[in-house]
């Protein structure tokens, strides 16, 4: 039996386990990336492991999230990150060099390699033929120390693309359509592997747009073959030596198939407040728009912004619309400037924002109250933009520009001939904003500001869990809901301060209640913890004494993060028990260690309502060991 592309790459990196779907495996990690919002804690954890130098082929520390620098906190974090990189052998990408996923695709991504990143959109690398996986910062820290990465062997979904996109239709429309079909939880435990004649018409940046938003499917990752399109991209980046040909065997087996005819795709939009609420733009025609934002790791490539510039040439944006442009990298920005395309954007009335994540994570450029904002981003969760009552629509650059011109949601096909930008045969190469580490960093002093607090330690699992239900939530709770970002990002390196904002947008009294009751339990619905990789959504609740999270189902990365920090991830054996349980109920789980070890069902008592119910878990023996030790960091130190 032949192997699909996913199996080929994983097999080449397999440390333990077998290529059997949903069975536990461990894989070797070639490359890692961090960004500054998650990186500070990841490196604090790496320091505590006690290793003198990274063990990966390549690790890069990017600064792209916390770039506003409203006070000392962000610049102190950046100084810490730079000193850590120099000491331990990590490449440091300075603020202004660009968004980690776009820059990594340009300068470091290699077909056939594994990449683990402390950001949920790390699967962007699948556009160049990598198995690129988002994870919590602790998993990345351990990988930098030479540890293998544990996961369940994914199911592989074959996505067959046929036909060719029509003018004014884009890769963004493809992934929004796939999200409409699959939903934000349809890809949990899966890799989406793209193939078919249709992929030959998609450039690497277009493929990367699709793999980037595969994170919104809940997927482990997404991947395209490495072919002549990939080779041409790497050659244009002066990295042709990094190319290898990679594709699935002709007789490869898959768990299921999806077929999409690219010629049938129309301009799409994801409506508020979920990426899977896809509708045709024609259905929204005429809706007034207040703001348009083009950028993020999804749509900030040269191809995206050059297309936007060519559409805007000789035109003005509507006076009622504010248009912001965030180039994905310094390379993109330089090329736009050198080719005169930046002039078209400025003359049209666009505001040029920094080469950073910015508005996508709620760091600036918030919409007006009750405003309608069209964004080429990957998430439109309620409040993520910084304005809780704003309506955020996710669209392609083509739809974004057309709507900015007319002041209302507009089908870009009315603009006539499509000025699609061609992929450059040679990109501008200037790597001067990468700081490479010295050969010997042993004498480097690590610089810590007053906002950098030590990583909090979890306690070992007791014999009995007792606590109150501190909060009961519904379905699709995001990590943004658990730990808001935006203005709070500078607190990522200070857990005691950041923990004051746990569930702030859902229940402003949660922190006080958790402190008063010395922790307890959280109850949730389906797809709990979807969204970003931020391990603080587990780390801060652990700091507040959360003993277990009990839900109907979990998102992949958050499930792993809960385990990493010693919080037991339980699911209801009987979904009706979710309806019965109430906030403030007292929960008791006796003989918890033996119950975990003796099967996947755990008998639990609701003392307040005087009944017992059954919980289930998916923990394997190694993960139970992690839970008993009080988290993966504790266990790693214990074994060392």
**For tokens 């391990």, what's the residue?**
535
Residue 61, pLDDT score: 98
* Domains (range + CATH), the chain: 5-264 (3.30.499.10), 269-412 (3.30.499.10), 465-631 (3.20.19.10)
Token pair, residue 560, equals 């792993």
Q: Rounded mean pLDDT of 216-222?
A: 96
Confidence of residue 627 (pLDDT cuts 50, 70, 90): very high
Per-residue confidence band for 343, with pLDDT thresholds at 50, 70 and 90: very high
List Cβ<8 Å contacts ≥24 apart for 194-197. Answer: 194/159, 194/161, 194/222, 194/223, 194/224, 194/225, 195/158, 195/159, 195/160, 195/161, 195/225, 195/247, 195/248, 196/159, 196/160, 196/161, 196/162, 197/161, 197/162, 197/163
Nearest CA among 422, 97, 425, 429 for reference residue 233: 425
**pLDDT for res 490:** 86
The predicted structure's pLDDT at residue 486 = 82
Rounded Cα gap, residues 19 and 36, in angstroms: 34
Buried b vs exposed e over 132-164: b needs ≥16 C-beta within 10 Å? bbbbbbbbbbbbbbebbbbbbbbbbbbbbbeee
**CA-based nearest residue to 401, from 391, 388, 414:** 414
Res 639 pLDDT > 80:
no
Dist. CA 300–CA 566, nearest whole Å: 38
The fraction of the chain above a pLDDT of 70, given in percent, is 100
18 touches 150 (CB < 8 A)? no
Q: Which of 423, 489, 495 is nearest to 453 (CA)?
A: 495
Residue 620 has pLDDT above 70, yes or no: yes
* SS3 label, residue 574: coil
Q: In what order do the strands lie in the sheet with 91-93?
A: 131-134, 114-117, 31-35, 58-62, 91-93, 434-435
- Residue 267 in contact with residue 399, Cβ under 8 Å? yes
pLDDT for 453 beyond 90: no
Rounded mean pLDDT, 65-94: 93
The separation between the first and the last C-alpha atoms of the chain, rounded to the nearest angstrom, is: 41
Is residue 638 over pLDDT 90? no
Return the residue matching tokens 């080929």: 8
Torsion (CA) 405, 411, 414, 417 in degrees, nearest 10: 90
Q: Specify the DSSP class assigned to residue 177.
A: H
Q: Residue 263 and residue 165: Cα distance in Å, rounded?
A: 5
How confident is the model over 199-225, as a mean pLDDT?
97
- pTM metric for this prediction: 0.93
Q: Average pLDDT in the 616-624 region?
A: 94
Tokens of 290: 């207040």
**Per-residue model confidence (pLDDT) at position 310:** 97
Place of tokens 């490539």: 301
Q: What is the pLDDT of residues 236-294, one digit of tens each?
A: 999 999 999 999 999 999 999 999 999 999 999 999 999 999 999 999 999 999 999 99
CA proximity to 281, closest of 368, 163, 402: 402
Query: Which range has the worst mean pLDDT, 116-130, 378-392, 450-464?
Result: 450-464
Tally DSSP H helices, then E strands, for the chain.
21, 27
pLDDT at residue 572 is higher than 90: yes
Pairing of strands 351-352, 568-572: unpaired
Strand ranges, E, within 39-181: 58-62, 91-93, 114-117, 131-134, 149-152, 155-162
Contacts of 337 (CB under 8 A, 6+ apart): none
Residue 421 tokens read as 């930008």
pLDDT at 492: 87
SS3 150: strand
Mean local confidence (pLDDT), 577-587: 97
Reply yes or no on whether the pLDDT at 640 is more than 70: no
Structure tokens at 247: 């594709």
């Amino acid at each position: 039996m032949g192997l699909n592309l996913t199996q080929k790459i994983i097999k080449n990196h397999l440390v333990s386990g077998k290529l059997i779907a949903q069975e536990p495996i461990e894989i070797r990690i070639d490359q890692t990336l961090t960004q500054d919002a998650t990186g500070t804690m990841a490196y604090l954890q790496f320091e505590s492991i006690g290793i003198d130098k990274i063990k990966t082929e390549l690790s890069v520390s990017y600064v792209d999230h916390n770039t506003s620098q409203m006070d000392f906190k962000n610049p102190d974090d950046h100084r810490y990150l730079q000193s850590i990189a120099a000491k331990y052998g990590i490449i440091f990408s300075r603020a202004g060099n660009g968004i980690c996923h776009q820059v990594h695709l340009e300068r470091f991504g290699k077909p056939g390699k594994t990449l683990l990143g402390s950001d949920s959109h790390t699967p962007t690398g699948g556009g160049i033929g990598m198995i690129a996986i988002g994870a919590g910062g602790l998993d990345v820290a351990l990988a930098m120390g030479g540890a293998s990465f544990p996961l369940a062997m994914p199911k592989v979904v074959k996505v067959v693309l046929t036909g060719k996109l029509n003018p004014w239709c884009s890769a963004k429309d493809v992934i929004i359509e796939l999200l409409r079909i699959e939903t934000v939880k349809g890809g949990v435990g899966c890799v989406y592997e793209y193939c078919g004649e249709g992929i030959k018409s998609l450039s690497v940046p277009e493929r990367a747009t699709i793999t980037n938003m595969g994170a919104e499917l809940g997927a482990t990752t997404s991947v395209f073959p490495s072919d002549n399109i990939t080779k041409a991209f790497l050659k244009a980046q002066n990295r042709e030596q990094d190319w290898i040909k990679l594709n699935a065997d002709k007789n490869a087996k898959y768990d299921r198939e999806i077929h999409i005819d690219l010629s049938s795709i129309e301009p799409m939009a994801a409506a508020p407040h979920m990426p899977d609420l896809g509708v045709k733009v024609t259905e929204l025609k005429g809706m007034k728009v207040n703001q348009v934002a083009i950028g993020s790791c999804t749509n900030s490539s040269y191809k995206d912004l050059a297309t936007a510039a060519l559409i805007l040439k000789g035109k003005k944006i509507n006076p009622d619309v504010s248009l912001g442009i965030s180039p994905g990298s310094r390379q993109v920005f330089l090329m736009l400037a050198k080719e005169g395309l930046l002039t078209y954007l400025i003359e049209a009335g666009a505001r040029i924002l920094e080469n950073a994540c910015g508005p996508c994570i709620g760091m600036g450029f918030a919409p007006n109250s009750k405003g309608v904002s069209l964004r080429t981003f990957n998430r439109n969760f309620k409040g993520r933009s910084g304005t809780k009552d704003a309506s955020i629509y996710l669209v392609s650059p083509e739809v974004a520009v057309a709507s900015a011109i007319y002041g209302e949601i507009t089908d870009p096909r009315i603009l006539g001939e499509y000025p699609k930008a061609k992929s450059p045969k040679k990109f501008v190469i200037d790597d001067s904003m990468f700081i490479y580490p010295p050969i010997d960093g042993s004498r480097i002093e690590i610089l810590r500001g007053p906002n950098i607090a030590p990583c909090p330690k979890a306690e070992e699992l007791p014999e009995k869990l007792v606590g109150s239900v501190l909060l009961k939530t519904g379905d699709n709770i995001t990590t943004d809901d658990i730990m808001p970002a935006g203005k709070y990002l500078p607190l990522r390196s200070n857990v005691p301060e950041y923990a004051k904002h746990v569930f702030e947008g859902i229940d402003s009294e949660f922190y006080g209640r958790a402190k008063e009751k010395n922790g307890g339990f959280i109850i949730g619905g389906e797809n709990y913890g979807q969204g970003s990789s931020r391990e603080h959504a587990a780390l801060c609740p652990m700091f507040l004494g959360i003993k277990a999270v009990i839900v109907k189902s979990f998102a992949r990365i958050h499930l792993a993060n809960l385990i990493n920090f010693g919080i037991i991830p339980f699911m209801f054996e009987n979904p009706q028990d979710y309806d019965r349980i109430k906030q403030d109920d007292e929960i008791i789980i006796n003989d918890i260690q033996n119950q975990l070890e003796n099967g996947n069902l755990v008998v639990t008592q609701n003392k307040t309502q005087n009944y017992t119910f059954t919980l289930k878990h998916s923990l394997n023996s190694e993960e139970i060991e992690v839970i008993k030790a009080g988290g993966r960091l504790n266990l790693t130190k214990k074994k060392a």
